[in-house]
Structure 1
């Protein structure tokens, strides 16, 4: 029997995961961080920039199905895994998303993350 997956619900867990390893893919960004023996946990974040509630919920359902399938086999034990939806993720082919998630989990297992983001979120307001 595979280990039980639990869902992240507390904001503090999401913020902690943001300080971990980051692997960006066209449809999503995967964050992975050790969680001190709490088992394999996952969380999903999709912002309002992606679309209306119907679009965001559809994306979350797709991510949930991907994670429940892939994490027991390919996920890191005793780590939090957070998927952040990106703009093109809802239209991407499900098989393509599955391949991207497998590649991202393999990179995370190898400890190869993308460089950290610049402080300030990248978007700048024009000066007046």
Structure 2
């Protein structure tokens, strides 16, 4: 099976749908505690369904977008935490390649009773709005 035809700008013939194969680099995932603690000292924005932390990496470190996800036990049992993190991973996958800035680290923190239950479209729009706030974009 071959992917649908697309030009190099990422636009498809169908309009605003994303292509089957992404042309943007995929963000790498934060795994080390020091990266999470560094992000905790940076800027943060609280939204109804999650909290976003952002820090600009120092000069000399690798470029590109990095993202981390966390949910404490306050979010619920393992099933609830995993569901919340899956939703956070998906909104990051859809939004960061377009709105994230290379050289930044982002950490998404799940919230009790809301990350797993809010409508997905609301989570996605809240994340886009949080990124605008963190980057200083005024709309």
TM-score range, shorter chain: 0.7 to 0.9
1:3 shift after superposition = 2.3
Matched, 1:59 2:81: no
Q: For the residues of structure 2 that align with 1:2 and 1:35, how far apart are their CA atoms?
A: 20
Matched, 1:20 2:45: no
Query: After the TM superposition, which of the residue ranges 58-67 and 36-45 deviates more from structure 2?
Result: 36-45
Give the corresponding residue for 1:90.
116
1:111 shift after superposition = 7.4
**Partners of 2:87 and 2:115 within 8 A in 1:** no
Q: For the residues of structure 2 that align with 1:4 and 1:63, how far apart are their CA atoms?
A: 15
Q: For the residues of structure 2 that align with 1:22 and 1:76, how far apart are their CA atoms?
A: 15
Structure 2 residue matching 1:49: 3-state secondary structure: helix
Matched, 1:100 2:122: no
**Partners of 2:65 and 2:105 within 8 A in 1:** yes
**Partners of 1:21 and 1:111 within 8 A in 2:** no
- CA-to-aligned-CA distance 1:7-31 (integer Å, 9 cap, x gap): 0000000000000010110110000
Structure 1 residue matching 2:118: 3-state secondary structure: coil
RMSD: 1.4
Q: For the residues of structure 2 that align with 1:111 and 1:29, how far apart are their CA atoms?
A: 18
Structure 1 portions without partners, runs of 5+: 113-128
If asked which structure has higher relative contact order (CA below 8 Å, sep 6+), I would say 1
Larger radius of gyration: 2
- CA-to-aligned-CA distance 1:68-112 (integer Å, 9 cap, x gap): 110000112210000011112111000000010000000011079
- TM-score calculated relative to the size of structure 1: 0.83
Q: Which runs of 4+ in 1 moved over 3 A?
A: none
